[in-house]
Chain A
């Protein structure tokens, strides 16, 4: 028996020795960067870049006509040439003429031409394709299906010169041209319906500063530098590995170990441990995501019965919503849970848009005495002395629905519940799986909920705050205000940049006053990266943005 155990011991000793040796063989070099991502991407085709990571990877593999970067001084985006060398707007901005580069090739050697550009606009807007940009080409000549009418939109002036005509009355910008161009010679061969499942989505023909080296499904996406690209520069990063690590703790461990060079969405409580490693830089991306407490502005029972819009008995009044916002001690959560990695939110307009916000606007102050006064003014009084406020026989009793497995929101909900109880407001907490929660919010069947909102760049508020609920499905609180609608409509007319910013300030004032939801706090995306990466810029446009410039 002893011999058996001895053999087993020797076997394991041998195994460990080999593995230690193996570890040394597979050491990474300094010209590659490993980025941790929580889940694999679905396709490598910019037409279907539905997720952030798909967008990031597409941006590195496919060129757009122009590129955008963040100007921190103005708090706005700035446009620079990419596939288009230069451009010229006509006098009334109803058309733009682009001069394209003639030295860009697809990874299979074919030249990138104007035909690829026209094809891209066509295919992105084709309803059959279901691209992530479908329905967003409002500035162009389109048919009833929102499909761009190529004949009216494009004029091929020469092999490198293209004129794009926009629909009358529209307000186009260079941002409407910023999407990756796809190869016509690859996708034109197949029926449009089949592009979504084409094998070319897994082994793409690309044009960007990187090419796909390998995609190990559910493990990693490896891209390598494209020396033929005009963006290529010796000394910059040669290889980027997007490593799929679903478990947060595993991502953290590998970041500390040096197996991973960059990770995002880290927790504030882990920051000190990361800093202590000495090999990591910890920074944060601000102003892209905020948490909010949603109040159902309409009566869910009436809405379910006959889609009738009747103000909610509890949250239908702006004064009550103001009171509830004042009853929430946001600073407590900000300091205890976010540990400074966030700031109080006044409205859906992020502080990163420096010219669009009213800096004089002060956050609602936690003031329980004022809350009681406001609620009493609205008729919410505890007449029967049972500890719960009532009005017209209705008790102030509601359920706050949150997604399960989100410790920050569970913590915040508990803080709110305790405070509301002191005020005579009975709040129950219901935790649901995210899919179920979205379903309930969509159906407008929840009283109140807590969720987060990621803001788009450039700023766009109409899709979530316009009163028409049929055309604005993402107006989840069902807030309706004609004054706001008029301002949102005016933003779509031809007005100056200064006028736009003035309108944004007016919109902010209305939303601040009416509190259709309680805007809680902007949450920083905490990013840690290895000190070996130089020339990295963490801006509101993202961390993995223009990373061909990394050294």
Chain B
């Protein structure tokens, strides 16, 4: 495959993605406005004057027709301006940019942990095929998969924060201390993020474990494995040099989408551990009818899912060049 063909395919894929994002945002723009409730509701209070509600509606442009609002939105969006958040009173881009680095760090840590954990446990299960460890890990992973994150989250908080008092129960850092010492600051972040990352990864870890294990089992009976074994290649070499690389292809495709979803926010974990992530931001925006922020969060999540999925496909392509036609169309 020539590089120009690859480039054209990439352009085609990106164009389609932009069109999908445009349709999603347009649909959402109309949907949130015709849905019950509006952002001025929070100004309906015994302590506030009814005239204020009218002023706010006018300043949010909610007194205009939907198509007028939409045209105005499109004009601004083309210049990269997605409006000012009704609840943060700052540009949407700025609000999202504030939580996005944390979300990426948090999600990426959980993603790496579940990927490495899944692989390690799958290797262990494979090594002890049909023995105690294999059965224990298979059943244990099923159990972990079935436990919702709010249960595991509360359990870990109870065990590690309340009883053992090893980890803090919320936040990303100790509030108001350790400001000037970067080493302790780093340690403090790790200290606070240990439990949330563990809880978030526990839901994905069994999936990766299952993927890897199934793939090892499937590939170990294929002709190439039998051939390697017949040639006296050690089991260790077969596993690390052949079975694992051959399993990666389908796992990377899943991991690409999974990482994108993780980047869009992990609401339950964020709420339990009071973390400032995309999930909390998006749900807060929905509950407060913060229309510009809802659109901003959706767009960000969409872009991240498309990018991670594309990245996964490019990695797969690097591993196996035969996939190019299917992947980039």
- Complex Cα distance, B59 from A20, in Å, reads 51
Tell me which of A203-211, A218-226, A375-383 binds B.
Answer: A218-226
Residues of chain B lying within 8 A (CB to CB) of residue A439: 36-38, 41
Of the candidates A42, A216, A456, the one whose C-beta lies within 8 Å of that of B47 is A456
Would you call A107 an interface residue if the criterion is a C-beta within 8 Å of the partner chain's C-beta atoms? no
Let me know if A250 and B46 touch, CB within 8 A.
no
Contact (A136, B184) CB under 8 Å given A19-B167, A246-B271: no
In residues 197-252 of chain A, which contact B (Cβ within 8 Å)? 197, 201, 213-214, 216-220, 222, 239, 241, 243-247, 249-250
In residues 111-129 of chain B, which contact A (Cβ within 8 Å)? 124, 127
Which residue of chain B has the shortest Cβ distance to A218 in the bound complex? Answer: B276
Residues of chain A lying within 8 A (CB to CB) of residue B213: none
Residues of chain B lying within 8 A (CB to CB) of residue A216: 173, 175
Would you call B165 an interface residue if the criterion is a C-beta within 8 Å of the partner chain's C-beta atoms? yes
Of the candidates A214, A253, A438, A473, the one whose C-beta lies within 8 Å of that of B176 is A214
Residues of chain B lying within 8 A (CB to CB) of residue A433: 37, 287
Would you call A454 an interface residue if the criterion is a C-beta within 8 Å of the partner chain's C-beta atoms? yes
Contact (A245, B274) CB under 8 Å given A435-B289, A455-B46: yes
Let me know if A219 and B173 touch, CB within 8 A.
yes
Tell me which of B68-76, B186-194, B310-318 binds A.
Answer: B186-194
Let me know if A246 and B274 touch, CB within 8 A.
yes
Contact (A19, B191) CB under 8 Å given A134-B49, A134-B52: yes
Would you call A464 an interface residue if the criterion is a C-beta within 8 Å of the partner chain's C-beta atoms? yes
Residues of chain B lying within 8 A (CB to CB) of residue A134: 49, 51-52, 55
Would you call A395 an interface residue if the criterion is a C-beta within 8 Å of the partner chain's C-beta atoms? no
- Closest chain B CB from A254 CB (angstroms): 6
Residues of chain A lying within 8 A (CB to CB) of residue B89: 42-43, 48, 196-197, 201
Of the candidates B168, B176, B184, the one whose C-beta lies within 8 Å of that of A239 is B176
Contact (A249, B165) CB under 8 Å given A197-B89, A435-B37: no
Let me know if A25 and B169 touch, CB within 8 A.
no
- Complex Cα distance, B76 from A129, in Å, reads 23
Residues of chain A lying within 8 A (CB to CB) of residue B51: 134-135, 146
Which residue of chain B has the shortest Cβ distance to A5 in the bound complex? Answer: B124
Let me know if A132 and B37 touch, CB within 8 A.
no
Of the candidates B50, B184, B274, B287, the one whose C-beta lies within 8 Å of that of A250 is B274
In residues 146-160 of chain B, which contact A (Cβ within 8 Å)? 154, 157-158
- Closest chain A CB from B183 CB (angstroms): 11
Which residue of chain A has the shortest Cβ distance to B171 in the bound complex? Answer: A219
Would you call A509 an interface residue if the criterion is a C-beta within 8 Å of the partner chain's C-beta atoms? no
Let me know if A454 and B48 touch, CB within 8 A.
no
- Closest chain B CB from A283 CB (angstroms): 24
- Complex Cα distance, B274 from A465, in Å, reads 40
- Complex Cα distance, B188 from A434, in Å, reads 38
Would you call B131 an interface residue if the criterion is a C-beta within 8 Å of the partner chain's C-beta atoms? no
- Closest chain B CB from A40 CB (angstroms): 8
Residues of chain B lying within 8 A (CB to CB) of residue A18: 187
Would you call B67 an interface residue if the criterion is a C-beta within 8 Å of the partner chain's C-beta atoms? no
Which residue of chain B has the shortest Cβ distance to A38 in the bound complex? Answer: B274
Residues of chain B lying within 8 A (CB to CB) of residue A218: 99, 274, 276, 280
Let me know if B157 and A250 touch, CB within 8 A.
yes
Would you call A361 an interface residue if the criterion is a C-beta within 8 Å of the partner chain's C-beta atoms? no
Would you call A471 an interface residue if the criterion is a C-beta within 8 Å of the partner chain's C-beta atoms? yes
Would you call B161 an interface residue if the criterion is a C-beta within 8 Å of the partner chain's C-beta atoms? yes
Let me know if B50 and A241 touch, CB within 8 A.
no
- Closest chain B CB from A47 CB (angstroms): 11
Let me know if B46 and A456 touch, CB within 8 A.
yes
Let me know if B46 and A463 touch, CB within 8 A.
yes
Q: Is the interface of A mostly helix, strand, loop or mixed?
A: mixed
Residues of chain A lying within 8 A (CB to CB) of residue B191: 19, 22-23
Contact (A243, B166) CB under 8 Å given A50-B42, A438-B44: no
A1-33 interface code vs B (CB 8 A; 1 in, 0 out): 100000000000001101110110110100010
Which residue of chain B has the shortest Cβ distance to A453 in the bound complex? Answer: B46
Residues of chain A lying within 8 A (CB to CB) of residue B194: 15, 19
Contact (A253, B169) CB under 8 Å given A196-B89, A436-B37: yes
- Complex Cα distance, B184 from A25, in Å, reads 9
Let me know if B154 and A249 touch, CB within 8 A.
yes
Bin the interface of chain B by size: 35 or more
Residues of chain B lying within 8 A (CB to CB) of residue A43: 89
Let me know if A464 and B46 touch, CB within 8 A.
yes
Let me know if B157 and A253 touch, CB within 8 A.
yes
Would you call A85 an interface residue if the criterion is a C-beta within 8 Å of the partner chain's C-beta atoms? no
Would you call B170 an interface residue if the criterion is a C-beta within 8 Å of the partner chain's C-beta atoms? yes
Of the candidates B42, B127, B166, the one whose C-beta lies within 8 Å of that of A16 is B166
Would you call A257 an interface residue if the criterion is a C-beta within 8 Å of the partner chain's C-beta atoms? yes
Would you call A399 an interface residue if the criterion is a C-beta within 8 Å of the partner chain's C-beta atoms? no
B29-48 interface code vs A (CB 8 A; 1 in, 0 out): 00000001110011111111
Contact (A1, B276) CB under 8 Å given A197-B90, A435-B41, A439-B41: no
Let me know if A132 and B48 touch, CB within 8 A.
yes
- Complex Cα distance, B84 from A201, in Å, reads 15
- Complex Cα distance, B247 from A231, in Å, reads 69
- Complex Cα distance, B45 from A97, in Å, reads 32
Would you call A75 an interface residue if the criterion is a C-beta within 8 Å of the partner chain's C-beta atoms? no
Would you call A357 an interface residue if the criterion is a C-beta within 8 Å of the partner chain's C-beta atoms? no
Contact (A22, B59) CB under 8 Å given A239-B176, A473-B44: no
Which residue of chain A has the shortest Cβ distance to B157 in the bound complex? Answer: A253
Which residue of chain B has the shortest Cβ distance to A28 in the bound complex? Answer: B177
Which residue of chain A has the shortest Cβ distance to B287 in the bound complex? Answer: A435
Contact (A135, B172) CB under 8 Å given A246-B280, A438-B41: no
Residues of chain A lying within 8 A (CB to CB) of residue B36: 435-436, 439-440
Let me know if B176 and A23 touch, CB within 8 A.
no
In residues 243-271 of chain A, which contact B (Cβ within 8 Å)? 243-247, 249-250, 253-254, 256-257, 259
- Closest chain A CB from B48 CB (angstroms): 6
Would you call B273 an interface residue if the criterion is a C-beta within 8 Å of the partner chain's C-beta atoms? yes
Let me know if B37 and A438 touch, CB within 8 A.
yes
Would you call A130 an interface residue if the criterion is a C-beta within 8 Å of the partner chain's C-beta atoms? yes
Residues of chain B lying within 8 A (CB to CB) of residue A249: 154, 157, 272
Let me know if B44 and A243 touch, CB within 8 A.
no
Which residue of chain A has the shortest Cβ distance to B98 in the bound complex? Answer: A217
Residues of chain A lying within 8 A (CB to CB) of residue B49: 133-136, 146
Of the candidates A1, A133, A471, the one whose C-beta lies within 8 Å of that of B127 is A1
- Complex Cα distance, B154 from A464, in Å, reads 42
Task: State the 7 A-B residue pairs at the shortest beta-carbon distance, nearest first.
Answer: A135-B49, A435-B37, A218-B276, A135-B51, A26-B174, A439-B36, A220-B175
Please, could you name 21 A-B residue pairs with CB atoms under 8 Å apart, sorted by A?
A: A1-B124, A19-B166, A39-B284, A43-B89, A50-B45, A135-B50, A135-B51, A196-B89, A213-B176, A216-B173, A217-B276, A220-B176, A222-B175, A245-B170, A247-B274, A249-B157, A250-B157, A253-B158, A254-B170, A442-B41, A442-B44
**Besides the known contacts A434-B287, A474-B46, 14 further A-B residue pairs in the complex with CB atoms under 8 A apart:** A15-B194, A19-B190, A22-B187, A133-B49, A136-B48, A217-B98, A219-B172, A219-B274, A220-B175, A435-B36, A440-B36, A456-B47, A472-B50, A474-B44
Name A residues whose Cβ lies closer than 8 Å to a Cβ of B. 1, 15-16, 18-20, 22-23, 25-26, 28, 32, 34, 39, 42-43, 48, 50, 127, 130, 132-136, 146, 196-197, 201, 213-214, 216-220, 222, 239, 241, 243-247, 249-250, 253-254, 256-257, 259, 433-436, 438-440, 442, 453-456, 460, 463-464, 471-474
